[in-house]
Amino acid sequence: MALTTACLCCATLLVVHYSVKEHAREQVVAEAHTSLLAFDVLLHQHQNTLARKADLLATKAAMTGDDDDPGAAQSSPDALESDGSDLVAVADGAGRVVVLHSSPSSFSAADAQDMLARSSAEGSRSDWWYVGDSLYQVALEPIGHGPRKIIVGREIDYRAVHDMGRISRSQVVFSYDRHIIASTFRPIEEQEADKKLQSASSRGQIEMGDDQFFADSLELTNRSGSVVRLTVLKSFSESAALISRLNHLLLALGLVAVLAGAVFVFLISDTFTQPLANLLEGFQALERGDSDFPLHANGGDEVAQTTRAFDRMRDTLRKNEAQKQQLEDQLRQSQKMEALGRLAGGVAHDFNNLLTVIKGHSELITDRIALADPVLMSGQQIRKAADRAATLTRQMLTFSRRQALQPKVLNLNAIVDDMGKLLKRLIPEDIEVIFRTQESIGRVKADAGQLEQVLLNLAVNARDAMPRGGKLTIETQNATVDQDLARIRPSVEPGEYVKLVVSDTGTGMDAETKTHIFEPFFTTKEPGKGTGLGLATVYGVVKQTDGFIWVDTEIGVGSKFEIYLPRVNAKLDADVMRRDSPIRIAAPETVLLVEDEAEVLTLARDFLTAAGYQVLTAENGERALEVALGDNSIDILVTDVVMPRMRGPELAQRLRRVKPGLKVVYVSGYLEPNETDGDFLKEASFLNKPFSREMLVHQVGEALRKSAPANVAVETVAN
């Protein structure tokens, strides 16, 4: 840009320079010509003056009548000087010069007579006389009417020439036969000028020394080849000096223009070009995936505003990208959990049936064997192992969220109070346990047993993280998560919650450990000390209760687990049934038992029969419908939930159409999400597999004691 400006300036200067030079040349030529014309006029005036003077003297001479010496009045040198003429002469009738006054005095009468003869031959009354290196402009006037003549002349000497030169500021040269007679040149220059003028034409360019002149000349007289010429020489150097001054001025102007251009270019570059280039680099960096390229956006001009807008856009993109990454991670995590859940659920279904059989038969064995029998020990061991296996299965199901929960509206403080007593036994004395429960806390809808499990798992983890003692704090409080809080707790959605916070002053976790803690079987504990299912269970319960978990931890400082459970407005439910209620022997009521696993069916039948119930059995839903149609005395249906062809809830629904008010107990190891079942647990009891004899008998007894469900429509069975 600066280069272009400089080039344009130079080109302009050159054009201006050459046009001015050309113009100056033309000016010189014109001036030379004008000067020549002016001198021509001047010489005519001089001629007139000389003519008048000659006329005056002639009149005077005629009047005095002094024929012999008509110029006597001028015969004295004084008279000549007062007249201001360089030559005054009187010629008689024969053409002889009788009186001659001249300055310089080298002029002889013979010379004058000679010149007069020439002039008289041409009959002219004005003439140029060249005598003895002097040039005179002369006027010739007859005295009276006679043949005598008065001649008055003016010498063209250096003074006269210099006077002329002053008028026109040019060199003036009078020459005779191409030899300089008088000029405004200095003597040395005059010699050179003399040589040049001899060879040059009457009009044109002449070079002298370092200077150049334009010469224009005027022929004053040409008598038989002897030419008296006036030449005007106008120097180009004056105009060259002018041009040079102009050049300097133009150069200075050019420099100023280039400098101004450079400043302008710098300003444009600083304000627009550089920021634009920076913005462009930012764009290109973003294309390459680099959204951290430093952008400079100073000032309030359009480029700066665009840059800022681009920066904001880039920020949003970055945030969106981070959010997308987080969502993808969450999706991957939940897909992983889902897959594990399906696996766990599938295994647990069969496993729970097997465990029910093992557990039940081991109970039967231990019940029937005498106390002294050594087999009793083995039976008890089998029972314990089955219990442990059942716990593991339950944990797996909880984590996979297939555990059959029995959610009730409850107060979290009640759970914490209950667990407090148990925890005191679990936590060593060097750990200070602090409970901070908020009064008038909101209610939550959750499975009480599962919440106890959550609190227990968190407390045990905290204990394990503080081998040398510390502080365990358990808090409950109402919490409102607004948009601001949700931003710093990204995994928690805005809403109203009841918060359970379990914090410790233990070892804390590094970032890597923190990302894995909710994965099943992830543990940092020694083999045999931890299964890695504790937090997976916590995660499962919280998710199944529609809640969220937030973990804060720092190595050497401690960990804090915040559990957000959605607040509900419903009334508190009655106390959750305790499983350890004593077994009671039932009245001889009729139980329809439906179970697709033959061994479980047999075992459950035995348990119920032993408890005094009439038991009808069926291995699937269709068979159960047949049995029910054949026997009208059925009081209660005990059915497996997950069965081929017809699921437990559907069977119950169809039976209730013919037998409204029929009590139902569902038995299951896990629950698959199934939309057609609806909220089937609403008007029924539920028993988890694997169950013990006590649990089964107790649940059936409890269900029979409950009042009949209201608003059940009476319909005939469809098939």
Residues at the contact surface with ligand ATP, assessed by CB under 6 A: 457, 461-462, 465, 504, 506-509, 513, 517, 522-525, 530-536, 559
Please report where in the chains the tokens 């001054």 appear, as a residue.
245
Stretch that binds Mg ion, among 399-407, 491-499, 527-535, 702-710 (CB under 5 A): 527-535
Backbone φ, ψ for residue 558 (5° rounding):
140, -175
Interatomic CA distance for residues 142 and 58, integer angstroms:
7
The packing angle between helices 302-368 and 693-705, to 10°, is: 100
Closest approach of Mg ion to the CB of residue 609, in Å: 42
Closest approach of ligand ATP to the CB of residue 506, in Å: 5
Mapped onto helix, strand or coil, the DSSP state of residue 474 is strand
Of 460-489, binders to Mg ion (CB under 5 A) are 461
Nearer to Mg ion by C-beta: 534 or 669? 534
- 3-state SS string for 171-231: EEEEEECCEEEEECCCHHHHHHHHHHHHHCCCEEEEEECCEEEEEEEEEEEEECCEEEEEE
Nearer to ligand ATP by C-beta: 400 or 699? 400
Query: What is the number of other CB atoms lying within 10 angstroms of the CB of residue 191?
Result: 12
Contacted by 95, from Mg ion, ligand ATP, none: CB < 5 to 8 Å by type: none
Closest approach of ligand ATP to the CB of residue 652, in Å: 36
Convert residues 246-265 into a mask of x (bound to Mg ion by CB under 5 A) and - (unbound): --------------------
Nearer to Mg ion by C-beta: 345 or 534? 534
Closest approach of Mg ion to the CB of residue 531, in Å: 8
Q: What does the block give as tokens for 450?
A: 């599962």
Closest approach of Mg ion to the CB of residue 533, in Å: 8
Please report where in the chains the tokens 């936590």 appear, as a residue.
427
Q: Residue 568's beta-bridge partner residues? A: 443
Answer whether 461's CB lies under 8 Å from 426's CB: no
Instruction: Output the residue with the shortest Cβ distance to Mg ion.
Output: 534
Nearer to ligand ATP by C-beta: 34 or 523? 523
Closest approach of Mg ion to the CB of residue 703, in Å: 35
Of 591, 593, 710, the residue nearest 660 (C-alpha): 710
Closest approach of ligand ATP to the CB of residue 381, in Å: 22
Mapped onto helix, strand or coil, the DSSP state of residue 686 is strand
Q: Quick one: how many helices (H) and strands (E) in the chain?
A: 18, 22
Closest approach of ligand ATP to the CB of residue 479, in Å: 20
Interatomic CA distance for residues 536 and 73, integer angstroms:
154
Closest approach of Mg ion to the CB of residue 546, in Å: 23
Number of chain positions touching Mg ion (CB under 5 A): 2
Nearer to ligand ATP by C-beta: 127 or 504? 504
Interatomic CA distance for residues 709 and 686, integer angstroms:
15
Q: Residue 414's beta-bridge partner residues? A: none
Contacted by 641, from Mg ion, ligand ATP, none: CB < 5 to 8 Å by type: none
Closest approach of ligand ATP to the CB of residue 462, in Å: 5
Interatomic CA distance for residues 173 and 181, integer angstroms:
8
Nearer to ligand ATP by C-beta: 213 or 561? 561
Angstrom distances, CA of residue 701 to CA of 384, 574, 704: 26, 18, 5
Contacted by 531, from Mg ion, ligand ATP, none: CB < 5 to 8 Å by type: ligand ATP
Interatomic CA distance for residues 478 and 468, integer angstroms:
32
Contacted by 636, from ligand ATP, Mg ion, none: CB < 5 to 8 Å by type: none
Answer whether 475's CB lies under 8 Å from 500's CB: yes
Q: Residue 129's beta-bridge partner residues? A: 136
The verdict on 5 binding Mg ion (CB under 5 A) reads no
Nearer to ligand ATP by C-beta: 293 or 522? 522
User: Roughly how many angstroms between the first and final C-alpha of the chain, as a whole number?
Assistant: 95
Nearer to Mg ion by C-beta: 519 or 640? 519
Nearer to ligand ATP by C-beta: 504 or 683? 504
Contacted by 513, from ligand ATP, Mg ion, none: CB < 5 to 8 Å by type: ligand ATP
Interatomic CA distance for residues 438 and 196, integer angstroms:
126
Mapped onto helix, strand or coil, the DSSP state of residue 506 is coil
Closest approach of Mg ion to the CB of residue 413, in Å: 24
Contacted by 507, from ligand ATP, Mg ion, none: CB < 5 to 8 Å by type: ligand ATP
Closest approach of Mg ion to the CB of residue 387, in Å: 19
Query: What is the number of other CB atoms lying within 10 angstroms of the CB of residue 699?
Result: 22
Interatomic CA distance for residues 434 and 476, integer angstroms:
12
Angstrom distances, CA of residue 146 to CA of 49, 55, 71, 74, 644: 23, 14, 15, 19, 173
Contacted by 525, from Mg ion, ligand ATP, none: CB < 5 to 8 Å by type: ligand ATP
Closest approach of ligand ATP to the CB of residue 437, in Å: 20
Alpha carbon of residue 143 to chain centroid: 110
Interatomic CA distance for residues 246 and 242, integer angstroms:
6
Contacted by 462, from ligand ATP, Mg ion, none: CB < 5 to 8 Å by type: ligand ATP
Nearer to ligand ATP by C-beta: 356 or 457? 457
Convert residues 442-461 into a mask of x (bound to Mg ion by CB under 5 A) and - (unbound): -------------------x
Sign, CA dihedral 309-310-314-317, equals: positive
Nearer to Mg ion by C-beta: 217 or 461? 461
Angle of CA points 150, 151, 155, to nearest 5°: 155
Q: Residue 212's beta-bridge partner residues? A: 207
Instruction: Output the residue with the shortest Cβ distance to ligand ATP.
Output: 534
The verdict on 520 binding Mg ion (CB under 5 A) reads no
Nearer to Mg ion by C-beta: 235 or 559? 559
Nearer to ligand ATP by C-beta: 273 or 523? 523
Sign, CA dihedral 278-282-287-289, equals: positive
Answer whether 346's CB lies under 8 Å from 682's CB: no
The verdict on 534 binding Mg ion (CB under 5 A) reads yes
Give the interface with Mg ion as residue ranges (CB under 5 A): 461, 534
